[in-house]
């Protein structure tokens, strides 16, 4: 469906044109003085300058030329030349009816769906997820759902880090602890055990131990680097150990992403890109793009218009080893081959923004992607503690994601336990509400901004929070369960609506606008802002309308249809943010 604002803009544009002015002046905006009118057009003021006339004269002429006035209950030109308008109840009601009949609630879907790969995982094998992975997962899952809702074919890739130093560290530490394992015997020719030599909790202890050792023990670190090199070169024992690490880690990672309601379509790994490297490097050399500088193989990515420093993109280190860059470039080759995507979107902490700029330029320059493929980097800010520094555990360590989630759930549970409910049910609800609190607390910020993790505020049932949205939904469900008429029928003529009802209808009619903006700008915060406004509009309406007790049956039926639609919009909204609502709380 066309957005309401576009429908009325179209009318005004035609009128401007009929009067001999550029149609662009007819653009309508939501009123910034809702006490005066719902929508306004300020184009006469700008046109006045261009055409050297009084703005009010233009506004009056445009009103005269307006063909279809049925959209408006009121439309007037006011000094110095604004056109203020209110929509007619019949028009808005019909619009809401069409919305209700549409599976996507009026959101237009792409005529030519795009294939989009979105890279928003990046967990590292053998390392538990920590809060640094939270934003990527939370924002990425939402962006994926928004782009899918608008009709694209979107593939989420976990892009597992399985090829870096951390594997070498684990292997080296394990070798010190259990040197007799067959994986370390270069002469071993038999089958390797099918059972891994560690459990997930052992692995989780091995990695940090090895990592801190490597910070003080240069020899140990060198051994870890050598182990990575052997792994990359195909050492049989190390490959077998790596397989074990994968087998133990991946199910654990999946379990954790599951708890976050984050689900990847693809579980590709950095190692999957390795087979593409040799040909890619050769082509970069053959094309005259890659050259040796200080022993390393690099591609220049500087452009004349650059105002900031833009170092060359390194493809191979001086010892011939591949690096993070090489893998990301080869992953582009792989993605092009497997999916020919129209767009690839990367989410990481903003600190990698220069890095991705280099990668994108290098990929374009060397022809890994053509001009028709869009490469987008969505860098996000940090989640900080109340002290304004990156969020840490109480003792200053890196917070595991699992523990953070448990803390939030516990806090919600404590808030709820005053209510009368079975323990088990309360725990379940606390987990649903807790996840909403955590995700909404993050997603309601513009991705690029840092934000403060504020438990008290995030779990509050009032204000711009996830639990407030859920509370509103639960309230609607409870009203509906108490009404005999479950169907309802919107009616815009039979009675005089309260201003609160009119505002709720207007808010409901703007869902498509919010979703389309969120998709264009990759901005889940636009969805949060919208569902917050809609919830506020509903609650204001609720406070002045006794829905269950209303004796005018036509009116009651209209209200039921309206709040059902509101609930459906909120349900769609939170599903775009990837959390759910309980039936009670
Ligand atoms: N594994 C990386 C890290 O922990 C993040 C990967 C991000 N994605 C990418 N294609 N580079 O820093």
Position 491 scores a pLDDT of: 94
Strand, coil or helix: 159: coil
Question: Measured in angstroms, how far is the CA atom of residue 168 from the centroid of ligand 1?
Answer: 17
* Paired sense of beta strands 343-349 and 115-119, if any: parallel
Give the residue whose CA is nearest to atom 2 of ligand 1.
122
C-alpha–C-alpha distance, residues 520 and 334, integer Å:
26
428 and 297 within one domain: no
Query: Which of 213, 237, 259 represents a domain boundary (last residue)?
Result: 259
Query: Which of 350, 384, 418 represents a domain boundary (last residue)?
Result: 384
Residue pair 98/1 in contact by the 8 Å Cβ criterion: yes
Position 148 scores a pLDDT of: 98
Neighbour-count burial of 252, counting CB atoms closer than 10 A to its CB (0-12 exposed, 13-18 middle, 19+ buried): middle
C-alpha–C-alpha distance, residues 511 and 102, integer Å:
12
Residue 19 lies in a domain: yes
Give the residue whose CA is nearest to atom 6 of ligand 1.
122
Position 421 scores a pLDDT of: 84
Nearest 5°: phi and psi at 66? -65, 130
In the sheet with 72-78, reading across from the earlier edge strand, the strands are 28-30, 39-41, 82-87, 72-78
CATH number of the domain that 52 lies in?
3.30.1360.70
Position 19 scores a pLDDT of: 95
Question: Measured in angstroms, how far is the CA atom of residue 165 from the centroid of ligand 1?
Answer: 13
Residue 130 lies in a domain: yes
171 and 149 within one domain: no
136 and 176 within one domain: no
DSSP conformation class of 23:
G
537 and 436 within one domain: yes
544 and 458 within one domain: yes
| The token pair that represents 122 in the structure block | 């990046």
321-336: b (≥16 Cβ within 10 Å) or e: ebeebbbbbbbbbbbb
Q: What is the pLDDT along the chain (585 residues), one digit of tens a residue?
A: 999 999 999 999 999 999 999 999 999 999 988 889 999 999 999 999 999 999 999 999 999 999 888 999 999 999 999 999 999 999 999 999 999 999 999 999 999 999 999 999 999 998 888 888 999 999 999 999 999 999 999 999 999 999 999 999 999 999 999 999 999 999 999 999 999 999 999 999 999 999 999 999 999 999 999 999 999 999 999 999 999 999 999 999 999 999 999 999 999 999 999 999 999 999 999 999 999 999 999 999 999 999 999 999 999 999 888 999 999 999 999 999 999 999 999 999 999 999 999 999 999 999 999 999 999 999 999 999 999 888 888 777 788 899 999 999 999 999 887 777 889 999 999 999 999 999 999 999 999 999 999 999 999 999 999 999 999 999 999 999 999 888 899 998 999 999 999 999 999 999 999 999 999 999 999 999 999 999 999 999 999 999 999 999 999 999 999 999 999 999 999 999 999 999 999
Residue 478 lies in a domain: yes
Residue 112 lies in a domain: no
Question: Measured in angstroms, how far is the CA atom of residue 442 from the centroid of ligand 1?
Answer: 20
Give the residue whose CA is nearest to atom 8 of ligand 1.
122
C-alpha–C-alpha distance, residues 231 and 350, integer Å:
31
479-508: b (≥16 Cβ within 10 Å) or e: bbeebeeeebebbbeeeebeebbbbbbbbb
Question: Measured in angstroms, how far is the CA atom of residue 218 from the centroid of ligand 1?
Answer: 25
112-124 pLDDT, tens digit per residue, is 999 999 999 999 9
Position 419 scores a pLDDT of: 74
Position 394 scores a pLDDT of: 78
Position 10 scores a pLDDT of: 96
338-392 pLDDT, tens digit per residue, is 999 999 999 999 999 999 999 999 999 999 999 999 999 999 999 999 998 888 8
411 and 531 within one domain: yes
Position 321 scores a pLDDT of: 87
| The token pair that represents 445 in the structure block | 């910020």
CATH number of the domain that 443 lies in?
1.10.730.10
Give the residue whose CA is nearest to atom 1 of ligand 1.
122
Residue 283 lies in a domain: yes
Which amino acids bring their CB within 6 angstroms of ligand 1?
119, 122, 124, 159, 161, 328, 346, 348
Domain region containing 251? 165-259
486 and 563 within one domain: yes
H/E element, 115: strand 115-119
Which of 381, 353, 521, 522 lies closest to 453 in space, CA to CA? 381
Question: Measured in angstroms, how far is the CA atom of residue 278 from the centroid of ligand 1?
Answer: 21
C-alpha–C-alpha distance, residues 227 and 164, integer Å:
10
Strand ranges in 333-456 using DSSP code E only, listed in sequence order: 343-349, 374-380, 383-384, 451-452
378 and 425 within one domain: no
Please report the atom of ligand 1 found closest to the CA of residue 331. 10
Spell out the residues 6+ positions from residue 353 whose beta carbon is closer than 8 angstroms to its own.
377, 379
CATH number of the domain that 283 lies in?
3.40.50.620
Please report the atom of ligand 1 found closest to the CA of residue 356. 11
Question: Measured in angstroms, how far is the CA atom of residue 126 from the centroid of ligand 1?
Answer: 14
Residue 99 lies in a domain: no
Residue 584 lies in a domain: no
276 and 351 within one domain: yes
534 and 431 within one domain: yes
77 and 130 within one domain: no
Domains in the chain, number: 4
Position 486 scores a pLDDT of: 81
567 and 460 within one domain: yes
C-alpha–C-alpha distance, residues 326 and 315, integer Å:
5
C-alpha–C-alpha distance, residues 38 and 357, integer Å:
43
Residue 111 lies in a domain: no
Give the residue whose CA is nearest to atom 3 of ligand 1.
122
């Amino acid at each position: 469906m066309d957005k309401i604002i576009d429908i009325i803009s179209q009318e005004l544009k035609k009128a401007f044109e009929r009067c001999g002015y550029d149609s662009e002046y007819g653009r309508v905006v939501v009123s910034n003085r809702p006490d005066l009118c719902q929508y306004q057009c300020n184009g006469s003021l700008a046109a006045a300058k261009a055409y050297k006339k009084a703005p009010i004269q233009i506004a009056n002429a445009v009103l005269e030329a307006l063909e279809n006035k049925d959209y408006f209950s009121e439309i007037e030109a006011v000094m110095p030349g604004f056109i203020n308008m209110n929509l007619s109840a019949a028009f808005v009601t019909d619009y809401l009816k069409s919305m209700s009949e549409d599976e996507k609630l009026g959101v237009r879907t792409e005529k030519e769906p795009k294939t989009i790969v979105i890279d928003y995982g990046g967990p590292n094998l053998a390392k538990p997820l920590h809060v640094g992975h939270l934003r990527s997962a939370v924002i990425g899952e939402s962006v994926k759902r928004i782009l899918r809702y608008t009709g694209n074919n979107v593939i989420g890739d976990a892009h597992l880090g399985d090829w870096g130093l951390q594997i070498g560290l684990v292997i080296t530490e394990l070798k010190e602890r259990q040197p007799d394992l067959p994986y370390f015997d270069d002469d071993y020719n038999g089958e390797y055990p099918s059972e891994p030599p560690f459990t997930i909790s052992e692995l989780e202890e091995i990695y940090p131990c090895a990592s801190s050792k490597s910070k003080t023990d240069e020899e140990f670190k060198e051994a870890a680097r050598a182990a990575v090199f052997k792994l990359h070169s195909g050492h049989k024992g190390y490959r077998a150990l790596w397989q074990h690490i994968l087998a133990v880690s991946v199910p654990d990672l999946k379990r954790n992403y599951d708890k976050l309601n984050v689900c990847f379509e693809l579980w590709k790994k950095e190692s999957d890109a390795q087979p593409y490297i040799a040909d890619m490097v050769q082509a970069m050399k053959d094309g005259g793009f890659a050259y040796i500088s200080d022993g390393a193989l690099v591609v220049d990515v500087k452009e004349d218009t650059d105002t900031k420093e833009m170092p060359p993109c390194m493809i191979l280190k001086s010892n011939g080893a591949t690096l993070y860059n090489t893998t990301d470039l080869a992953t582009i080759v792989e993605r092009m081959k497997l999916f020919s995507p129209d767009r690839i979107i990367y989410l990481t902490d903003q600190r990698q923004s220069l890095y991705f700029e280099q990668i994108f330029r290098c990929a374009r320059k060397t022809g890994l992607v053509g001009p028709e493929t869009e490469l987008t980097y969505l860098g996000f800010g940090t989640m900080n503690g109340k002290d304004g520094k990156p969020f840490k555990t109480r003792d200053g360590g890196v917070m595991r994601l699992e523990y953070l989630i448990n803390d939030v759930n516990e806090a919600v549970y404590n808030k709820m336990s005053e209510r009368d409910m079975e323990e088990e049910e309360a725990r379940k609800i606390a987990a649903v509400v807790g996840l909403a609190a955590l995700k909404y607390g993050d997603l309601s910020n513009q991705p690029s901004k840092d934000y403060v993790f504020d438990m008290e505020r995030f779990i509050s049932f009032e204000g711009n929070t996830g639990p407030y949205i859920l509370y509103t939904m639960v309230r609607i469900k409870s009203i509906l369960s108490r009404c005999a008429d479950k169907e309802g029928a919107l009616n815009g003529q039979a009675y005089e609506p309260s201003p609160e009802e009119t505002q709720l209808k207007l808010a409901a009619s703007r869902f498509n606008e919010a979703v389309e903006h969120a998709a264009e700008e990759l901005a889940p915060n636009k969805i949060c802002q919208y569902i917050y406004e809609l919830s506020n509009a509903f609650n204001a309406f609720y406070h002045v309308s006794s829905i269950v007790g209303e004796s005018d049956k036509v009116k009651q039926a209209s209200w039921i249809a309206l709040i059902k639609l509101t609930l459906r919009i909120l349900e769609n909204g939170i599903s775009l943010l990837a959390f759910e609502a309980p039936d009670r709380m």
